[in-house]
Amino acid sequence: MWPGTFAPTPAHRFFRLLHEHKKLKRCFTQNIDSLEAAAGLPREMVVAAHGNFDAAHVVGTGEAVDIDELKAAILEGEESVRALCEREGGLVKPAITFFGEALPARFGECARADFADCRLLLIFGTSLKVQPFASLVQRCPPATPRMLINRERVGEDAGLDFDREGSSDGAFLGDCDVGAQSLAELLGWDLSVYAAPRTDLARADPDADAAADVDDHLARRLESMELASISSNRWTSAAEAHSEGAADAHDQAVRQHVYERLLEGGMAPAEARSFADSMPQQLIDMQDHPSFSAGRQ
């Protein structure tokens, strides 16, 4: 669960470019994996609604604890964790919000200030079902353009209106990384300049070489893909059409092959299965990629 297993995605790198081009007001996220910071986005530019692993504190007192000390204690084992808690005078945990706990005060503070000045809202990869986060889409000034980048059409019960003539709401139906790449290309930006060096990936991910190869291959595929058009009243998908029977068998074979490769690399079975099962369809569709050749036999 501790950050470091996975590298930032092209979508995370896009957020960093938005910031460096002075186009980003703030990045609000429900994720706790700290991949925004890993991509190079300054911590003050991120509002983690459910907290993350950027900080730690003592439960009850809120006293700050060095997050690196907590990480080292957890990796060393239970005895080290107990010693740390005794030294700090209470249970130490990362600054993540558990069920039933109040959201960080910074969430409300930044939401009030930032959304009043929002000129464009980009909504990446979300069901827009969890409150109060989902209500953020309603905080923009009237007529503010709102763009959903998501695999499914969501948010209409939260106030998004994609069908009304003249609506300023639009959508890209497809994978977040593909949407980020499409936006970057329209802006003339190169997401690859912030891709993690392979040596960094090797320390973080047991299957680093295969992951980096897949990322390179995805970049090449994106150059020739006809991406979904971005339009307020036009809905298209970035995924290719498949015949159901053959596609399902192929998808299962690819996921199983990736799962087995991750196991060979030392990843825990549960984590490997979760990773394989959540692979984007764009990666599954890469039938000519050598990493997937055994899965197609």
Reply yes or no on whether 12 is catalytic.
no
206-245 per-position pLDDT tens digit: 344 444 444 444 444 344 333 333 333 333 333 333 335 5
158-171 per-position pLDDT tens digit: 889 999 888 999 98
73-129 per-position pLDDT tens digit: 888 888 888 998 988 888 888 877 776 677 888 899 999 999 999 999 999 999 998
Task: Give the pLDDT confidence score for residue 144 in this predicted structure.
Answer: 92
- Does pTM surpass 0.85? no
Give the residue extent of every domain in the chain.
Answer: 55-96, 198-227+240-296
Task: Give the pLDDT confidence score for residue 78 in this predicted structure.
Answer: 86
Q: Name the active-site residue from 19, 50, 250, 257.
A: 50
Residue type, position 49, single letter? A
- Report the distance separating Cα 14 and Cα 195, nearest Å: 11
At 258, the pLDDT band (50, 70, 90 cuts) reads low
Q: How many CA atoms lie within 13 A of 228 on its CB side?
A: 27
- Report the distance separating Cα 252 and Cα 241, nearest Å: 17
Helix segments in the chain, DSSP class H: 10-20, 35-38, 67-76, 78-88, 105-115, 176-187, 198-204, 208-224, 244-264, 269-277, 281-284
| Tokens found for residue 87 | 């030294």
Out of 36-40, 54-58, 132-136, 194-198, pick the least confident: 194-198
